[in-house]
Chains A and B, each alone.
Chain A
């Protein structure tokens, strides 16, 4: 099975940096995803990690440590439009259909 933990809410100031942590337990690691979801809208893909290390994509970066069962999403130069939920998701093995299991999401509120 899979278990994913991430904080429920975080608040940060426009222009600042916020780090959203995700810890997980899984019987078969096959990749970790981060998605952004604005209220009432579809999740949109942000990043994907399958190997240890940092993946940078513009203002967003994601880090993975498989040995620690830990990932984080780093949002830099926060903008008001970054107020959203950020979902950490684990991909199951091919035998399990490669499905994505999502954590409960971290709601980030960016204040002026």
Chain B
């Protein structure tokens, strides 16, 4: 158990819909990272937050947005969903200065 909690674990929805994925980092970790992993693909960095502020942005689509709240949990919002958005979405957290990232178990999104 990495200490990073993600909900929901599985989500099935239809094209055009909107979903929210939630992440609670390890206790004391201020940085939260979101990654997308499509089937048989590598981990693609989406976005990073540190103590509520956006720190780095990767190849995140405009249809996607995220935020980190004062209690340090983070949410990733995916809207106007397309079939290609089906993937595992991982949240990770780290201490500052960061050593390794600790990953949650992921949220598996299926868009039908």
Contact = CB atoms under 8 A, between A and B. Distances in A.
A79 interface: no
Given A43-B103, A97-B55, A99-B48, A91 B98 contact: yes
A33 interface: yes
A99 B33 contact: yes
Interface residues of A, number: 22
B11 interface: no
B103 A99 contact: no
Interface string A74-112: 000000000000010001101011111111110000000
A33 B45 CA distance: 15
Contacts of B31: 98
B50 interface: yes
Nearest to A101: B45
Interface in B69-112: 88, 90, 94, 97-106, 108
Interface of A: 33, 40-45, 48, 87, 91-92, 94, 96-105
